[in-house]
Amino acid sequence: MSSPSTPSTPSTPSTPATSQSHPQDAPVQPRSRYSTGTLPNMLRSMLVIGLFVLALVAIVPRTSQVPRTAVDAAAKASQVAAQTKWTVQLPRGLGDGWVATVATFAPGTEKVPTFTTVWTTPSGADIALKQAAAATNGWVSRSVDDGEASGTVQVSGRTFERFVADGAGQIGYVVRGEGPTGVTVVASGTAPEDELKAFVAALAPVAAAPSADVPTKSSTSAPG
């Protein structure tokens, strides 16, 4: 006699393995060296900009000096000589490249009446020629830009006191007038000394203008 069979326990259905698919990662682009903001990269950028600016400056035309209008220094000197009875001097025969750009007669340092002319030299520098009777020591000092005394020089038989203003890059020559009516002459400026010597070597007295050509009052002014 057979015994009843024990029902078998149903087997747990197996869970199918889930396959997870991952999309292939996209390639990562390297970061630009210039986007990192590091100091070397900033310096490189500044260098490139600087070179570009220098190139522009090199090709753009420009003038180094503002041209100044020439004046009739001889006419003004003749008027001053007639008005003051001074022995006024101006350079003669300087040649090309010498241009008078200022000619005034007015009170200067310590209110000393001063005849001033300014000349552009062939090298592009300037020489100021100042003349005054009864000039004070303060007037002389300011006329040579407070330069230090540096001996004397002989030019065309005349002895000039030499002053050097290193801070201003100027050299000045001075001949002092004798007595209350003697005219002191100062030539000073940024010109090379050989031009300064040529300038004072060319100084000569100016003839006074006829009285009808002399103005009753000067309308110009300049520092002395």
207 alpha-carbon distance from chain centroid:
37
Predicted pLDDT of residue 46: 80
- Asked which of 30-39, 43-52, 73-82, 136-145 is least confident by mean pLDDT, the reply is 30-39
Residue pair 173/155 in contact (Cβ under 8 Å)? The answer is: yes
Predicted pLDDT of residue 218: 45
Q: To 10 degrees, the CA torsion angle through 118, 83, 137, 176?
A: 80
Predicted pLDDT of residue 155: 97
Return the amino acid letter for 111. K
Quickly state the pLDDT bin for 7 (edges 50, 70, 90): low
The average confidence (pLDDT) of the chain is 82
The tokens describing 38, both together, are 């590091």
Residues 6+ apart with CB under 8 A from 85: 181, 208
User: Does 17 or 82 have the greater pLDDT score?
Assistant: 82
- Asked which of 52-56, 140-144, 179-183 is least confident by mean pLDDT, the reply is 52-56
Quickly state the pLDDT bin for 193 (edges 50, 70, 90): very high
CA distance 94 to 168: 25
Predicted pLDDT of residue 223: 40
**Strands 126-133 and 183-189, sheet pairing:** antiparallel
Structural domains of the chain sorted by starting position, each given as residue range(s) with its CATH number in brackets: 73-213 (3.30.200.100)
CA distance 217 to 93: 30
Residue pair 121/98 in contact (Cβ under 8 Å)? The answer is: yes
Predicted pLDDT of residue 220: 42
Give the sheet arrangement for strand 158-165, strand by strand.
Answer: 99-107, 113-120, 126-133, 183-189, 170-175, 158-165, 148-155
Nearest alpha carbon to residue 196 among 174, 168, 177: 174
Q: Is the pLDDT of residue 86 over 80?
A: yes
Helix (H, G, I), strand (E, B), or coil: what is residue 16? coil
Q: How far is CA 70 from CA 88, 119, 220, in A?
A: 20, 9, 16
**DSSP annotation of 81:** H
